Amino acid sequence: AQTVTQSQPEMSVQEAETVTLSCTYDTSENNYYLFWYKQPPSRQMILVIRQEAYKQQNATENRFSVNFQKAAKSFSLKISDSQLGDTAMYFCAFMKHEGIGADGLTFGKGTHLIIQP
């Protein structure tokens, strides 16, 4: 079974600052996918970024980028030029590349990110 650990329950930064959220995972799989989802107070879970484990290049989406360290089983999210609208719960999630059967996404407990004006 896979586990995902987010060691920062809450973080607070000033608007326009850069912030990094940590995520580590444990798996015996070699092929898998990693995701960051954002859940604002409205509760809608929104995809932020996705990374395929077989790709060495770190994924980027505008102000969001990841630092994927496969050997260390680490997958951190960097948010540059943070905005008030970035305030939300951020969840790191793991999905294995299954052939038969499905385990769905395995989520961490989340990091509550607060952007201060």
Partner 1 sequence: DAGVTQSPTHLIKTRGQHVTLRCSPISGHKSVSWYQQVLGQGPQFIFQYYEKEERGRGNFPDRFSARQFPNYSSELNVNALLLGDSALYLCASSLEAGEGYTQYFGPGTRLTVL
Looking only at residues 41 through 100 of this chain, which bind partner 1 when binding is defined by CB under 8 A?
A: 42-47, 50, 52, 91, 93, 95, 97-99
Cβ proximity to partner 1: between 5 and 14 the closer is 5
Say how many residues touch partner 1, by CB under 8 A: 29
Cβ proximity to partner 1: between 41 and 117 the closer is 41
Nearest approach, Cβ of residue 15 and partner 1 (Å): 26
- Distance, CA of 20 to CA of 7 (rounded, Å): 12
Site for partner 1 contains 102 (CB under 8 A): yes
Q: Phi and psi for 84 in degrees, rounded to 5?
A: -55, -35
Cβ proximity to partner 1: between 14 and 55 the closer is 55
**DSSP letters for the chain:** --EEE---SEEEEETT--EEE--EEE-S-SSEEEEEEEE-TT---EEEEEEETT--SPPEETTEEEEEETTTTEEEEEE-S--GGG-EEEEEEEEE--SSS----EE---EEEEEE-
Task: Sketch the per residue contact string, 21 through 40, with partner 1: x for CB under 8 A, - otherwise.
Answer: -----------xx-x-x---
Contact residues toward partner 1 (CB under 8 A) are 4, 32-33, 35, 37, 42-47, 50, 52, 91, 93, 95, 97-99, 101-110
